[in-house]
Homo-oligomer: A and B are copies of this chain.
Amino acid sequence: MNNKRATIEDVASLSGVSIRTVSRVINHSPMVGDATRKKVLQVIEDLEYQPNAQARGLAGRRSFMLGMIYDNPDALYIDRVQRGVLDVCRERGYELVVHPCDMHTDTLSKEALGFVNRSRLDGVIILPPVSENNDLAGTLDNAGVNYVRLASVALDKPENVVISNDRYAAASMAEHLFSLGHRRIGYITGPMSMKSSQERLDGFCDALDKYGFKPPEDMIAYGEYTYESGVECGRRLLKDAHPPTAIFASNDELAMGTIQAAREKGVSVPDDLSVAGFDDTKMALRSYPTLTTVRRPVKEMAGLAASKLIASIDGRDEDASIMNMVTPFLIPRQSTIPAK
């Protein structure tokens, strides 16, 4: 940098107070006289002084940095989370360090802890499906690292998780289809190793159950949350002797695959087959017909997670331990219409 940056000392001497006082002002301590504070703030502005985060971190043992750990193929989801977290970070003077990882490596926990320690992160936010890894959470907890997981079930203490009620949302979608008159509804799952897959399937079954229906085993296809898997499962469901009038695919990728499978077979969506997805990806709006889907308030979830994390960091345990659960909502579009 050309003109060396001002230090706390410059601010102190120019405002005629001690370093300690400037530090108090920076850290919003209430123990400063109003006149003093104002004066100091003025000098800070004049000098365009910015506290050195590293020095603050070294001395105060906090970095004002949060980390984000994930292994998720959905770029839009990641982007939404980043923005949600950053909205809160900005208010509170934090920065965000990103850390995509490989959830299938056996050194994941160690590696993640290394990440946190190296940068002295004040806390981390963990996205699904990595968030479902209890070994990782345990490792972090053990090391005294603050963390919050984004998940679809309460797999941790309230201060460590923000929940999306996927189960309820899936049930809503099932009811939506049901209310459109569909009685033979196919369902395509994600990988059953993921909580979200289980929850969504359970929600689907909950709803059928409510109407006195038993989820027909032959109408449930076990998929992978991918397009290819959607094509395959869609084909299988559609070639049934008694094919479904609607298919609820548990994410948009699967739904797009399902639509493709229908197209191949000359089954018209939505005229002959209603199709619903989950996630509200960009494709949902661009596909033809546009896709009825479920949108999780991802950005809001992320914001809650960041707030919770910062509350933990600040030791505001009452705030941190509030249970946060958000509810996704249904977005009806063209791909679902009344059954014939």
Contact = CB atoms under 8 A, between A and B. Distances in A.
A241 interface: no
Instruction: Label chain A's interface by main secondary structure.
Output: helix
A118 interface: yes
A2 B120 contact: no
Interface string A28-63: 000000000000000000000011111101100001
Contact of A50 (B57, B118, B282, B285): B118
A332 B1 CA distance: 48
Given A100-B82, A143-B1, A118 B53 contact: yes
A5 B286 contact: no
Interface in A135-161: 142-145
Interface in A95-143: 95-100, 114-115, 117-120, 142-143
Sort chain A's interface into a size bin: 35 or more
Interface stretch (A13-21, A71-79, A169-177, A310-318): A71-79
A263 interface: yes
Contact of A96 (B63, B76, B80, B97): B97
Interface string A239-256: 000000000000000001
A227 interface: yes
A288 interface: yes
A73 to B, nearest CB: 9
Nearest to A63: B54
**Which of A96, A260, A263 is packed against the most chain B CB atoms within 10 Å?**
A96
A54 B120 CA distance: 8
Contacts of A53: 118-120
Interface of A: 1-2, 5, 50-55, 57-58, 63, 65, 75-76, 78-80, 82-83, 86, 95-100, 114-115, 117-120, 142-145, 227, 256, 260, 263, 281-283, 285-288
